[in-house]
Amino acid sequence: MDTGPFTRYKGFDLYPLIYRHQAERTWPERRPDRSFNASVVICREGHEPGTERSRVFRLSAAPWDNIGTARRGAVKFGEDIINGLVPGESVAAL
């Protein structure tokens, strides 16, 4: 799993979590060993991940073909949550 560097956005720290997608193997195979899923940890600025001021949000999007795209998607998803654009998700309790 790759946490990569964090991004600051509107008083929050965003940590993208990128990990290999565990796809069922089918034929013909589309190289499932080279696709990635993502989550994002959102913390109040200055607080560490894993504290009561942080929360993990998992993206339900289809797997990405590379780490860079997955990381950008995770950060964008975190920004959308902070902006209130993702129904059912909120950072108000942080």
Is there a domain that residue 54 lies in? Answer: yes
Total domains in the fold of the chain: 1
Q: What was the pLDDT predicted at 2?
A: 45
Percent of the chain with pLDDT over 90: 56
Distances (CA, A) of 14 to 25, 33, 86: 32, 26, 16
Digit-coded pLDDT (tens) for 58-69: 998 778 888 899
Note the pTM of the prediction, 2 decimals: 0.81
For residue 51, being part of any structural domain is answered with yes
Task: Give mean pLDDT, residues 66-79.
Answer: 93
**Residue 70, in any domain of the structure:** yes
Q: What is the pLDDT of residues 13-53, one digit of tens each?
A: 999 999 886 666 666 665 555 789 999 999 999 898 989 99
Q: Are 44 and 12 in contact (CB under 8 A)?
A: yes
